[in-house]
């Protein structure tokens, strides 16, 4: 069926407007409850986590009403990172996990992400079935079968302890000074606590959420403040998480930013050397830099590309039996440890490399020279289709002809916002700038 509710990462939109209304959340909860209640064998349990947005209270309450109306027993985790929901869904033997978050989006947005009993995000097919249930009449439970609700006070603590176990026993971060930017989001308690308990000296930023300041001038999409703090504090590393902590951007001791491609390159190299990189393969999306692909080839490793979205990376990893993948934006998926992107655990793996190799962050965060890349976002009205305009199609063909196999061009719709993402790569930076400028101008003209 043609999905209208679900994008590349659950359901997302502006709070209190369709589809992020209390009414829709109630219907989604009831539909998901009906879908999972049919085959559930764990007391029909569902765990719900959220980030720090004010609208999370509204959506949490509405989802809970919908779920209990179909017989699901709800366990409320409170503010926890998205990967914690994936972990706790499986750990607590729940039939369903739900995270209320719009990730890196501004505070006015919110979203709902679903996890299956295995801790992995739902497939497109499962989401389509839930959407079909939403469109109809959802069968409700008998009065005696209405679900219960319970708040879980130790969910965050369980995740904190698990995150620490992903480092080898005996490894300490003593002597390392770390700036951690939690973006006033879901990891504002967990991330500083994990780092401190492992022995690091911690400088915490973005740990005072007020319901409206999540991702505001902080976090993985705004690393400038953390970069300044790293230099001013003389820190060894900066860690920038996004609002739900499923992605990470790192900052070396000089204040330079390292994206997900550089982190994946480091982990792929280390894991291959240790004989633990499954099939000598890394899974990444079409957005990852050509420099990463060349780096892997030089080390005798393979890169498999997927559509944009960490869920598609995970699907390919599971299908191929691969254990490392991610996105340039900072989703790093390590299936030996996690079922989804986990910014904190990825950062711990980078700190482990610093400890074991005795290297500075600036050395480890520059594994390859990126091919010059430009990315521009063009906002559009949902009722317009600028990519269908003949002038835009002509401009795309002309740009590809000018690249003549020496670079890449990718134009796609965002799955989470009404944006066209225009990306181009080329060794010739002047050519790159000219191509990008012309393409964006044609798209804007078509709008």
Q: Give catalytic residues, as residue numbers.
A: 103
The bridge status of strand 177-181 relative to strand 237-241 is parallel
What are the residues facing 306 on neighbouring strands? 285
Three-state secondary structure of 398-438: HHHHHHCCCEEEEEEECCCCCEEEEEEEECCHHHHHHHHHH
The structure tokens listed for 245 are 């902590």
Terminal CA-CA length for the chain: 28
CA–CA distance, 388 with 369 (Å, rounded to integer):
35
Going 322 to 328 to 334 to 338, the CA torsion angle's sign is negative
Helix (H) or strand (E) holding 238: strand 237-241
CA–CA distance, 422 with 436 (Å, rounded to integer):
8
Pair 230, 238: CB distance under 8 Å: yes
In degrees rounded to 5, what are phi and psi of residue 212?
A: -130, -10
**388 contacts: CB under 8 Å, gap ≥ 6:** none
The structure tokens listed for 335 are 């299936």
Q: Which of 104, 98, 45, 100 is nearest to 71 (CA)?
A: 45
- Please give the full DSSP string across 21-41, using - where no structure is assigned: SHHHHHHHHHHHHHHHHTT--
Pair 436, 422: CB distance under 8 Å: yes
- Give CA 205 to chain center in angstroms: 20
Pair 293, 301: CB distance under 8 Å: no
- Give the three-state DSSP class for 276: coil
The CA radius of gyration of the chain, in Å to the nearest whole number, is 22
- Give the three-state DSSP class for 230: helix
Can you say whether residue 180 is alpha, beta or left, with left for phi > 0 and alpha for psi between -120 and 50 degrees? beta
């Amino acid at each position: 069926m043609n999905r209208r509710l679900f994008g590349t990462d659950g359901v997302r939109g502006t709070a209190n407007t369709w589809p992020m209304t209390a009414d829709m959340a109630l219907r989604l909860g009831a539909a998901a409850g009906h879908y999972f209640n049919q085959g559930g064998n764990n007391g029909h349990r569902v765990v719900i986590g959220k980030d720090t947005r004010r609208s999370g209270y509204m959506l949490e309450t509405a989802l809970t009403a919908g779920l209990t109306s179909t017989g699901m027993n709800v366990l409320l985790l409170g503010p926890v990172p998205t990967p914690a929901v994936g972990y706790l869904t499986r750990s607590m033997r729940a039939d369903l996990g739900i995270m209320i978050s719009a990730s890196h989006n501004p505070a006015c947005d919110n979203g709902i992400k679903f996890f299956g009993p295995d801790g992995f995000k739902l497939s497109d097919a499962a989401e389509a079935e839930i959407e079909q249930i939403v469109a109809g009449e959802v069968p409700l439970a008998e009065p005696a079968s209405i679900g219960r609700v319970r708040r879980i006070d130790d969910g965050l603590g369980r995740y904190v302890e698990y995150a620490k176990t992903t480092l080898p026993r005996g490894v300490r971060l003593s002597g390392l000074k770390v700036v951690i930017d939690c973006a006033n989001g879901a990891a504002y308690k967990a991330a500083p606590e994990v780092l401190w308990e492992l022995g690091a000296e911690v400088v915490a930023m973005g740990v005072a959420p007020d319901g409206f300041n999540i991702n505001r001038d902080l976090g993985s999409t705004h690393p400038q403040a953390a970069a300044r703090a790293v230099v001013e504090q003389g820190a060894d590393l900066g860690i920038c998480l996004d609002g739900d902590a499923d992605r990470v951007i790192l900052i070396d001791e000089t204040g330079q930013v390292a994206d997900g491609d550089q982190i994946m390159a480091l982990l792929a190299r280390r894991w291959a050397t240790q004989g633990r990189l499954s099939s000598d393969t890394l899974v990444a999306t079409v957005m990852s830099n050509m420099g990463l692909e060349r780096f892997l080839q030089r080390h005798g490793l393979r890169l498999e590309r997927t559509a944009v979205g960490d869920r598609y990376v995970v699907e390919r990893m599971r299908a191929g039996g691969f254990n490392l993948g991610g996105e340039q934006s900072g989703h790093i998926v390590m299936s030996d440890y996690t079922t989804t992107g986990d910014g904190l655990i990825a950062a711990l793996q980078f700190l482990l490399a610093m400890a074991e190799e005795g290297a500075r962050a600036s050395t480890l965060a520059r594994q390859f020279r990126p091919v010059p890349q430009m990315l521009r976002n063009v906002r559009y009205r949902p009722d317009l289709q600028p990519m269908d305009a003949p002038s835009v199609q002509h401009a795309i063909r002309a740009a590809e002809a000018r690249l003549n196999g020496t670079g890449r061009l990718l134009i796609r719709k965002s799955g989470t916002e009404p944006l066209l993402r225009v990306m181009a790569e080329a060794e010739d930076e002047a050519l790159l700038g000219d191509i990008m400028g012309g393409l964006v101008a044609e798209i804007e003209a078509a709008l």
